[in-house]
Amino acid sequence: MAVHSPSDHFEPTADSIHAARERIAKYAVRTPILESDALNVLVGARVFIKPENLQRSGSFKLRGALNRALQLGTAEREGGIVAWSSGNHGLAISFVAKELGIKATVLMPHDAPKTKIEGVRQNGAAVRLYGKTKENREEIGAQIAAESGAAIVPPYDDPYVITGQATLGAELAEQVAEMGGSLDIALFPCSGGGLVSGAACGVHTLMPRTAIYSVEPAGFHGMALSLAAGEPRTAPANGSSICDALLVPTPGKLTFPIGRERLTGGLSVEDDEVREAIRFAYRELKLVIEPGGAVALAALLAGKADITGKTVAILLSGGNVDAEKFAAYIATPSNTGH
Amino acid sequence: MAVHSPSDHFEPTADSIHAARERIAKYAVRTPILESDALNVLVGARVFIKPENLQRSGSFKLRGALNRALQLGTAEREGGIVAWSSGNHGLAISFVAKELGIKATVLMPHDAPKTKIEGVRQNGAAVRLYGKTKENREEIGAQIAAESGAAIVPPYDDPYVITGQATLGAELAEQVAEMGGSLDIALFPCSGGGLVSGAACGVHTLMPRTAIYSVEPAGFHGMALSLAAGEPRTAPANGSSICDALLVPTPGKLTFPIGRERLTGGLSVEDDEVREAIRFAYRELKLVIEPGGAVALAALLAGKADITGKTVAILLSGGNVDAEKFAAYIATPSNTGH
């Protein structure tokens, strides 16, 4: 990959995505493609489901973390890694650090899911909790990096990380093609935009006409607002959402320009729609999906995209959710008759 | 497949299994193989996980049901199908009947999981509930068949059904070989023995030296007792088990002779060990497994088989479990420190 200059429009290329796929192949799982009769009938489309909750570390974040960590030089590796994360990027970083024998420090919000905080610790990384309203995680991270010589691996606004997530799009398109399909539409969860921007480039290497949509929790739908405005916008973020992984209200400096080029639009979903998707995945797909991982499915089930008769892909991006919360999500009776 | 004479020792052959795989290929999913770092580390072995909870109808039972239904003649199809089932065979039969446009009646116990009874009804089959202690399901089924001309598709003691389940073993061995592995040991859940006997034959077509074990709920471990005695035995069945799919206390007339030839031994697990396996699958595999589907994993986690350093396969056989019960299983804190 060419060195990124901040003034350029960065975008993963077919070559850089291919190189990333080769780089991470030994460590990342080629997650399967699933189909659900119940889902296809319910939404009137053929839906290819990519379950990255089955990825090592429990989410797609492994891909970007691997693609960055595997390109650290020997001296950089010795300094270790520092990262900030709502949880899944931290799990991925700590998993990769353990795998490669690198020290890692992860900054996580106090209110991150217990399973995510415990998972990072179990992987052997140091956890530094911070208060989301009182502290700036980028500043703390930069300070730790300056003091310790650790390399910063940002959660989304980084060329290596975006290219790592792009491997997911390329892999998905390749698998769908192997199954004889061609995607009209693909929906990806979106927080800072690393996944959807990278994956869009990945899908387009093989299927350049696929319409790609971001899906965000309502109130945190900064990518949707920005795409509609044609320039960066920040969502109100004045409420809350059960989607702990998707609470970034503004797309990244690198991810938005890619999104503007590559995305057809941005969708948003309410918490109740996400709960319904979690229940559906429990009942029909037999999968454990965390709230942030279920937003693309939620958008489909709630009819947010016009997909009748089309060939669609959705990404289930993660499955790291506290058991008490998951139990509550699936036990709540649905208000749509399921 | 040759017509089975009751006095013969019936066993699926490489040819009949191959034919069954071709027959059902259009309708059954080739479920993926998963691996879990956490599981491999915990049990000190390389474990290939075959998640048939991801199969259509939510369990492996689809395979046997398909292999039987697809060999019904035109006249037989018009008479419909009658089957008895604790749930998963009924879900499979009703799914296949819907797919092929055949009428189906399914006898299910009053205390079957709600999700299984509702699922059979949603597939359009007629459900006849019976009392397990007061009524004989085989007799009721035979009566319905005599009156309606319906074909009986038994849940396990049937050559077509056993050969259908054998496709799972052949597919598993093929996938493991593709991934560069060779199985020392494979563990399969067991109720009447259709799955484990068929799958053993399937695995052995490619890997004849793999040691195959049945896993049953303690108290219903008729196959284990029979294998140890060298002749059919009935387990006490005087307690209860959360494994609603595995409550047959005596192996079948066809399945036990196959088991005696093909199985290395029989294991049994307690309900608490099954709950622990369900929690593990929730937390580490991100999969929804029903109690009966989790017994092979439970046996591994509880150290019931000597697998250190070996290459192992386990089948997760189904994922049809009421949400309220699943919520209770995963919310209960583990007593082993997880």
Last residue of a domain, one of A123, A152, A181: A152
- pLDDT of A281 > 60? The answer is yes
Token pair belonging to B8: 């013969």
Q: Which domain does B224 fall in, by range? A: 14-60+158-331
Nearest by CB: B330 against A29, A283, A323: A323
Residues A198, A236, single domain; the answer is yes
Q: Note whether A54 contacts B35, CB cutoff 8 Å.
A: no
Angle at B259 between CA B32 and CA B6, to 5 degrees: 115
- pLDDT of B323 > 90? The answer is yes
For B233-251, what is the mean pLDDT? 95
Chain-centroid distance, C-alpha A312: 18
Please name the residues in contact with B160: beta carbons below 8 A apart, sequence gap of 6 or more.
B1, B64, B67, B68, B71
Nearest by CB: B288 against A35, A37, A288: A288
Identify all chain B residues contacting A115, using CB atoms and an 8 Å cutoff. Answer: 283
- pLDDT of B77 > 80? The answer is yes
Chain-centroid distance, C-alpha B113: 16
Identify all chain B residues contacting A326, using CB atoms and an 8 Å cutoff. Answer: 282, 327, 330
- pLDDT of A52 > 90? The answer is yes
- Domain annotation covers residue B279: yes
Nearest by CB: A37 against B51, B56, B326: B56
- pLDDT of A292 > 90? The answer is yes
Question: Residue B189 in 3-state DSSP?
Answer: strand
Q: What is the pLDDT of residue B332?
A: 63
Q: Which residue has the higher pLDDT, A336 or B80?
A: B80
- Domain annotation covers residue B8: no
Percent of chain A with pLDDT over 90: 91
Q: What is the pLDDT of residue A331?
A: 84
Residues B306, B189, single domain; the answer is yes
- pLDDT of B271 > 90? The answer is yes
Q: What is the pLDDT of residue B9?
A: 86
Please name the residues in contact with A180: beta carbons below 8 A apart, sequence gap of 6 or more.
none
Question: Residue B290 in 3-state DSSP?
Answer: coil
Place of tokens 């911070």: A130
CA pair distance A281, A49, nearest whole angstrom = 11
- Domain annotation covers residue B256: yes
- Sign of CA pseudo-dihedral A164, A165, A168, A169: negative
Q: Note whether B323 contacts A35, CB cutoff 8 Å.
A: no
Provide the H-helix boundaries in B129-221.
Answer: 137-148, 159-178, 194-206
- pLDDT of A2 > 60? The answer is no
For residue A290, what is the nearest residue in chain B, using CA coordinates? B286
Q: Note whether B282 contacts A289, CB cutoff 8 Å.
A: no
- Domain annotation covers residue B3: no
Mean pLDDT is highest, among A3-17, B80-94, B324-338, for B80-94
Tens of pLDDT, residue by residue over A166-180, are 999 999 999 999 999
Tally the residues of chain B.
Answer: 338
By the 8 A CB rule, do A194 and A255 touch?
Answer: yes
For A202-221, what is the mean pLDDT? 98
CA pair distance A273, B206, nearest whole angstrom = 46
Q: Note whether A328 contacts B330, CB cutoff 8 Å.
A: no
Q: What is the pLDDT of residue A335?
A: 46
Secondary structure of A67-120 in HEC code, one letter for each residue: HHHCCCCHHHHHHCEEEECCCHHHHHHHHHHHHHCCCEEEEEECCCCHHHHHHH
Q: Taking CB atoms and an 8 Å cut-off, how many pairs form between chains A and B?
A: 58
Residues B21, B164, single domain; the answer is yes
Identify all chain B residues contacting A53, using CB atoms and an 8 Å cutoff. Answer: 286
CA distance A148 to chain B (A): 30
CA distance A267 to chain B (A): 26
For residue B118, what is the nearest residue in chain A, using CA coordinates? A338
Tens of pLDDT, residue by residue over B98-113, are 999 999 999 999 999 9
Element (H, E) at B6: none
Q: Note whether A289 contacts B286, CB cutoff 8 Å.
A: yes
For residue B330, what is the nearest residue in chain A, using CA coordinates? A323
Nearest by CB: B323 against A288, A324, A330: A330
Q: What is the pLDDT of residue B31?
A: 98
Q: What is the pLDDT of residue A9?
A: 86
pLDDT band at A51 (very low <50, low <70, confident <90, very high): very high
- pLDDT of B2 > 50? The answer is no
- pLDDT of B239 > 80? The answer is yes
Dihedral (C-alpha) A80, A86, A91, A93: value to the nearest 10 degrees? Answer: -30
Last residue of a domain, one of A121, A152, A183: A152
pLDDT band at A7 (very low <50, low <70, confident <90, very high): low
CA distance A67 to chain B (A): 20
- Domain annotation covers residue B336: no
Q: What is the pLDDT of residue A238?
A: 87
CA distance A163 to chain B (A): 25
pLDDT band at B142 (very low <50, low <70, confident <90, very high): very high
For A205-213, what is the mean pLDDT? 98
Tens of pLDDT, residue by residue over B287-317, are 999 999 999 999 999 999 999 999 999 999 9
Residues B56, B69, single domain; the answer is no
- Domain annotation covers residue B2: no
- Domain annotation covers residue A184: yes
Instruction: Print burial letters for B229-267: b (CB count within 10 Å at least 16), e (below 16).
Output: eeebbebebeeebbbbbbbbbbbbebbbbbbbebbeebb
Q: Note whether B287 contacts A288, CB cutoff 8 Å.
A: yes
- pLDDT of B337 > 60? The answer is no
Residues B103, B37, single domain; the answer is no
Q: What is the pLDDT of residue A1?
A: 43
Residues B254, B171, single domain; the answer is yes
pLDDT band at A8 (very low <50, low <70, confident <90, very high): low
Count of domains observed in chain A: 2
> Does the model's ipTM exceed the 0.90 cut?
yes
For B58-81, what is the mean pLDDT? 96
Token pair belonging to B23: 């027959």
Residues B167, B198, single domain; the answer is yes
Residues A231, A126, single domain; the answer is no
Last residue of a domain, one of B119, B152, B185: B152
* Short-list A66, A315, A67, CA closest to A171: A315
**What is chain B's mean pLDDT, rounded?**
94
Nearest by CB: B54 against A58, A286, A328: A286
Q: What is the pLDDT of residue B8?
A: 64
For A103-130, what is the mean pLDDT? 96
Domain CATH number, residue A130: 3.40.50.1100
Residues A106, A198, single domain; the answer is no
pLDDT band at B335 (very low <50, low <70, confident <90, very high): very low
CA pair distance B190, B129, nearest whole angstrom = 24
- pLDDT of A14 > 70? The answer is yes
Please name the residues in contact with A230: beta carbons below 8 A apart, sequence gap of 6 or more.
A260
What is the maximal distance between C-alpha atoms in chain A?
58
For residue B280, what is the nearest residue in chain A, using CA coordinates? A323
Tens of pLDDT, residue by residue over B193-207, are 999 999 999 999 999
Q: Note whether B323 contacts A282, CB cutoff 8 Å.
A: yes
Residues A245, A212, single domain; the answer is yes
| Interface test mutation site (partner A, options B30, B279, B286, max chain A beta carbons within 10 A) | B286
pLDDT band at B7 (very low <50, low <70, confident <90, very high): low
Nearest by CB: A327 against B34, B53, B331: B331
Residues A122, A193, single domain; the answer is no
Per DSSP, the residues of A25-67 read: TTTS-----B--HHHHHHHTSEEEEEEGGGSGGGBTHHHHHHH
Tally the residues of chain A.
Answer: 338
pLDDT band at A338 (very low <50, low <70, confident <90, very high): very low
Instruction: Print burial letters for B199-208: b (CB count within 10 Å at least 16), e (below 16).
Output: bbbbbbbbbe
Identify all chain B residues contacting A171, using CB atoms and an 8 Å cutoff. Answer: none
Q: Note whether B287 contacts A287, CB cutoff 8 Å.
A: yes
Q: Which residue has the higher pLDDT, B191 or A1?
A: B191
Residues B187, B327, single domain; the answer is yes
Element (H, E) at B90: helix B88-100
For A282-295, what is the mean pLDDT? 98
CA distance A218 to chain B (A): 26
For A228-234, what is the mean pLDDT? 97
- Domain annotation covers residue B48: yes
What distance, in Å, lies between the first and last C-alpha atoms of chain B?
Answer: 48
